[in-house]
Chains A and B, each alone.
Chain A
């Protein structure tokens, strides 16, 4: 059952939004929004559609957490398709940059999103990159919609929903949001996904399941038992399993490509292994009050905010102070990591088992973190019943999050982004069109 209402867009007339209220099988109502003038419901009858792609991001999932006992559905799905055990997240190993890389196919020096939080030089403040204008290149979501197909986004985290904004033809605004974590539980996300598929049958749906990450961050037993995490894994795995069953039951499986990936992994630290750079930087006369720190869990982005004439010497001083701090793994210029030079002067990584807590030692109390190289390994596999999916394959290819857009684009026959992709088509997972 669907109710439809139209409201004026908040910013301008172009984004006049329509709302679809969809009743779910669980009895709850899911509200989807669409953009006026853009097809929001697939024109093709369900049986006639040849290709559906579902990109399921299990936020923060580690590849070694997929096993036959803890995550039987993910395990089975991975075994059915093409697995990339070498897959890695890309710097900075955080949620926003990697979701943006997945949907754009370009690295942060082109996408504009290098981390979750950066120091915004124009605004003179550290802020979360959660605005639609933070993404500087077209994403698959609007590019696909531009071809007359329907794209959808079902993103559990508030900042993901806001940064991708109205790019997809049909969106779900995450609710109910859990206080502090600002994300909707996977139960709600899964219901929204099913409702969206039922109601609008998009050609592409981009999904973020946030529980594994959000629970992992807070799991005080993460270094040993991982009790909360294990429970979240099991529940999320069951949601994925139910979604796959629905696709099969509805006869959509043979036309479906299900890409499962994480945006980053997770690493747990003990309470005493935290790094706060604010104090040593402030205690240096040449740097006091002149360094802004954007803390991203396992990575600190340092920006010198003093006079430009002092920048060069100051940055070297910041580098040496950071490298002398226990728990620091390495220090990089942003361009070494393919981040835009204006996002920071230095990116500082911590070692495994450590975390940053800036500006104060109590700023980051959560044991589970990511952003540092220890959290690069991610699961990435391509499954589904579509004839182009290679079955039972394991590939040594060095797949990354930035490969998602080129691969999905190839499936839909989209031309590459202007300037080309930075990622690669993961042809190892796909039969060619002729095969």
Chain B
């Protein structure tokens, strides 16, 4: 039987359903009533959520509030020709939800590929492909997930999504947040945001979501596999917390409560996620006995970030990044899980990272630009480092209960990392005992160090990375420069991640190469570099030669000795 990758290459799926690569053009052009594509998400063993947006009339543009009520039909079939229909139904939509459509299709078979499409007044949407989760407790030999974060429209094109869509071997795509950005149109942007202003109103948020959903590569990826998403801060505003955000100004931009509610409403409308305003975004998906995926919400309940890393508040047990209810849900889930791999969709890094004093001012400033400086101090108190009490509670519960196989999948920081989470930081350098691992995907497009330093990639950054790895022995892999995507493979024997780097984020047709591959062998909670990627390619590790990496390490050691 032809597999998905072969089908895409031969174009047969495009021919039968207009699913993927050419997006709206194949789907019928800008006048097509389903011009924002189709998507699916949050697969369960017997159900999956389907999504689209109807444009019922020319004036019913996203965010406009115009256009009438409509009934949209949906179909789910075992085949791309829809000869074997498994389920069908109808959903009402209208301007009150920006004409977005969500259908939770139930009574499906577990661990099964399905095709789906929408229809309205004789028009048919592009065809999407989705997959239900394996039955609870069932044996699963392998899962493959795309892992992405930080896709800033203005910073480039989404070639990373196109590469993932073309793979054809993904059961799910995990988006770890910063799916879109709130900023207004910036001069020099690869492509400008719409609306051109910072999004603060419901209309803004809806229009921005709609703009992103016109990207052909994003449409192709949504059509190719179900998503599991969580938000980070930029879906509302930079460095958001429960009571505000760094990029929110009251009263000029209204109250934070109102602004956040609008961002969340638009998110619920425009994303294929089992979330509705007022509900909880954090949730857990299971994949037989092999894996479960806990998707966290680290913005809605968190305390305000402290001003700088020397503020003792980072250790204050009254401050939280998860909120108590979510923390209890997470720790009790991790300690009672029956699945082998406990994957955690985690929008910001949980690994402790210390930035050593052997970095110079320029390097520190560049890192600060990436990690989000708080009052100019280059230490990321926006991630779990700023909420050490909650982190200790999570790691402590893993250790106390002998939990093995916890893997944090993280975005946010526009760089690729593979780290171990020390059981005891004091003894880790000797014992190497680790209670979990963290795999951080880089940004689809958002800026990182070479962009800020305005230097060629893999030059000065190599030294910065070597310095950080020397100061943080649990950091096994770090790439501060690359943009791209990751692919995660989960089997009973290991969890492994391959990191892919785009040649040029400004090029929608950019090539990609694999630049790292690490695995967590079952039962170890430790990282191991693998000589070949899961596609059988030898990675150009850390996008540098062995000589360049050795030279960078020598420079880092020299700095350390010079102190």
User: Is A85 in contact with B340, judged by CB distance below 8 angstroms?
Assistant: yes
Interface of chain A residues 74 through 107 with chain B (CB within 8 A): 83, 85-86, 88
- Whether a CB of chain B sits under 8 angstroms from the CB of A428 is yes
User: Is B402 in contact with A394, judged by CB distance below 8 angstroms?
Assistant: no
User: Is B430 in contact with A225, judged by CB distance below 8 angstroms?
Assistant: yes
User: Is B338 in contact with A225, judged by CB distance below 8 angstroms?
Assistant: no
Stretch at the interface among B40-48, B74-82, B523-531: B523-531
Partner of B399, one of A224, A352, A397: A352
User: Is B402 in contact with A224, judged by CB distance below 8 angstroms?
Assistant: no
User: Is B400 in contact with A374, judged by CB distance below 8 angstroms?
Assistant: yes
- Whether a CB of chain B sits under 8 angstroms from the CB of A398 is yes
Give the residues in chain B near A373, CB-CB below 8 Å.
400-402
CB closest residue in chain A, given B339: A396
Give the residues in chain A near B290, CB-CB below 8 Å.
396
User: Is A88 in contact with B340, judged by CB distance below 8 angstroms?
Assistant: no
User: Is A329 in contact with B492, judged by CB distance below 8 angstroms?
Assistant: no
A64-B523, A85-B522 given; A226·B404 CB < 8 A: no
What interface size band does chain B fall in? 20 to 34
Chain A 362-397 near chain B by CB (<8 Å), digits 1 or 0: 000000000011111101000000000000001111
Least CB distance, B138 to chain A, in whole angstroms: 10
Chain B 319-361 near chain A by CB (<8 Å), digits 1 or 0: 0000000000000000000111000000000000000000000
Least CB distance, B397 to chain A, in whole angstroms: 10
- Whether a CB of chain B sits under 8 angstroms from the CB of A223 is yes
Chain A: residues with Cβ within 8 Å of the partner, total of 28
- Whether a CB of chain B sits under 8 angstroms from the CB of A71 is no
A162–B340 CA distance with the chains assembled, in angstroms:
37
- Whether a CB of chain A sits under 8 angstroms from the CB of B246 is no
- Whether a CB of chain A sits under 8 angstroms from the CB of B557 is no
Which of A375, A395, A428 has the largest count of B CB atoms less than 10 A from its CB?
A395
Least CB distance, B340 to chain A, in whole angstroms: 4
- Whether a CB of chain A sits under 8 angstroms from the CB of B185 is no
A224–B399 CA distance with the chains assembled, in angstroms:
16
List the count of A-B residue pairs having beta carbons below 8 Å apart. Answer: 76
User: Is B340 in contact with A375, judged by CB distance below 8 angstroms?
Assistant: no
Give the residues in chain A near B340, CB-CB below 8 Å.
85-86, 396
User: Is B400 in contact with A329, judged by CB distance below 8 angstroms?
Assistant: yes
CB closest residue in chain A, given B433: A64
User: Is A224 in contact with B427, judged by CB distance below 8 angstroms?
Assistant: yes
Which of B288, B338, B402, B405 has the largest count of A CB atoms less than 10 A from its CB?
B402
Chain B 6-42 near chain A by CB (<8 Å), digits 1 or 0: 0000000000000000000000000000000000000
- Whether a CB of chain A sits under 8 angstroms from the CB of B135 is no
User: Is B431 in contact with A398, judged by CB distance below 8 angstroms?
Assistant: no
A379–B523 CA distance with the chains assembled, in angstroms:
9
Give the residues in chain B near A223, CB-CB below 8 Å.
424, 427, 431
Give the residues in chain A near B522, CB-CB below 8 Å.
83, 85-86, 394
User: Is B139 in contact with A428, judged by CB distance below 8 angstroms?
Assistant: yes
A226–B431 CA distance with the chains assembled, in angstroms:
8
- Whether a CB of chain B sits under 8 angstroms from the CB of A116 is no
- Whether a CB of chain B sits under 8 angstroms from the CB of A265 is yes
Give the residues in chain A near B288, CB-CB below 8 Å.
396
A377–B401 CA distance with the chains assembled, in angstroms:
9
A64-B525, A223-B424 given; A375·B404 CB < 8 A: no
Which of A86, A226, A379, A396 has the largest count of B CB atoms less than 10 A from its CB?
A396
- Whether a CB of chain B sits under 8 angstroms from the CB of A63 is yes
Chain B 524-541 near chain A by CB (<8 Å), digits 1 or 0: 111000000000000000
Least CB distance, B529 to chain A, in whole angstroms: 15
A374–B339 CA distance with the chains assembled, in angstroms:
18
Chain B 483-518 near chain A by CB (<8 Å), digits 1 or 0: 000000001110000000000000000000000000
Least CB distance, B522 to chain A, in whole angstroms: 3
CB closest residue in chain B, given A67: B524
User: Is B402 in contact with A374, judged by CB distance below 8 angstroms?
Assistant: yes
- Whether a CB of chain A sits under 8 angstroms from the CB of B289 is yes
CB closest residue in chain A, given B526: A64
User: Is B404 in contact with A86, judged by CB distance below 8 angstroms?
Assistant: yes
Give the residues in chain A near B338, CB-CB below 8 Å.
398
User: Is B289 in contact with A396, judged by CB distance below 8 angstroms?
Assistant: yes
Query: Taking chain A's interface residues, is the majority helix, strand, or loop, or is none over half, making it mixed?
Result: loop
Partner of B431, one of A225, A395, A428: A225
Give the residues in chain A near B401, CB-CB below 8 Å.
373-374, 376
A98–B540 CA distance with the chains assembled, in angstroms:
48
A88–B492 CA distance with the chains assembled, in angstroms:
16
Interface of chain A residues 376 through 435 with chain B (CB within 8 A): 376-377, 379, 394-398, 428
Give the residues in chain B near A329, CB-CB below 8 Å.
400
Give the residues in chain A near B493, CB-CB below 8 Å.
83, 85, 394
- Whether a CB of chain A sits under 8 angstroms from the CB of B470 is no
Least CB distance, B27 to chain A, in whole angstroms: 39
- Whether a CB of chain B sits under 8 angstroms from the CB of A351 is yes
Give the residues in chain B near A85, CB-CB below 8 Å.
340, 404-405, 492-493, 522-523
A397–B140 CA distance with the chains assembled, in angstroms:
10
CB closest residue in chain B, given A352: B399
A373–B401 CA distance with the chains assembled, in angstroms:
5
Interface of chain A residues 324 through 364 with chain B (CB within 8 A): 329, 351-353
User: Is B289 in contact with A398, judged by CB distance below 8 angstroms?
Assistant: yes
Interface of chain B residues 264 through 322 with chain A (CB within 8 A): 288-290
Interface of chain B residues 423 through 451 with chain A (CB within 8 A): 423-424, 427, 430-431
User: Is B492 in contact with A376, judged by CB distance below 8 angstroms?
Assistant: no
A395–B340 CA distance with the chains assembled, in angstroms:
9
Give the residues in chain B near A428, CB-CB below 8 Å.
139
Least CB distance, B434 to chain A, in whole angstroms: 9
Interface of chain B residues 372 through 421 with chain A (CB within 8 A): 396, 399-402, 404-405
Least CB distance, B404 to chain A, in whole angstroms: 5
User: Is A397 in contact with B289, judged by CB distance below 8 angstroms?
Assistant: yes
Least CB distance, B342 to chain A, in whole angstroms: 11
Least CB distance, B393 to chain A, in whole angstroms: 12
User: Is B402 in contact with A86, judged by CB distance below 8 angstroms?
Assistant: no
Give the residues in chain A near B523, CB-CB below 8 Å.
63-64, 85-86, 377, 379
A267–B491 CA distance with the chains assembled, in angstroms:
28
User: Is B402 in contact with A265, judged by CB distance below 8 angstroms?
Assistant: yes
Least CB distance, B394 to chain A, in whole angstroms: 14
User: Is A374 in contact with B427, judged by CB distance below 8 angstroms?
Assistant: no
A397–B523 CA distance with the chains assembled, in angstroms:
13
CB closest residue in chain A, given B289: A396
User: Is A377 in contact with B404, judged by CB distance below 8 angstroms?
Assistant: yes
| CB<8 Å pairs between A and B, sample of 17 | A83-B522, A85-B404, A85-B405, A86-B404, A223-B424, A225-B431, A351-B400, A352-B396, A373-B401, A373-B402, A375-B402, A394-B491, A396-B340, A397-B139, A398-B289, A398-B338, A428-B139
Top 7 A-B residue pairs of the complex, sorted by shortest distance between their CB atoms: A85-B522, A85-B523, A394-B493, A396-B340, A394-B492, A224-B430, A63-B523
Beyond A223-B427, A374-B401, A397-B289, 11 additional pairs, beta carbon < 8 A: A85-B340, A85-B493, A86-B404, A265-B402, A373-B400, A373-B402, A379-B523, A396-B288, A396-B339, A397-B139, A398-B289
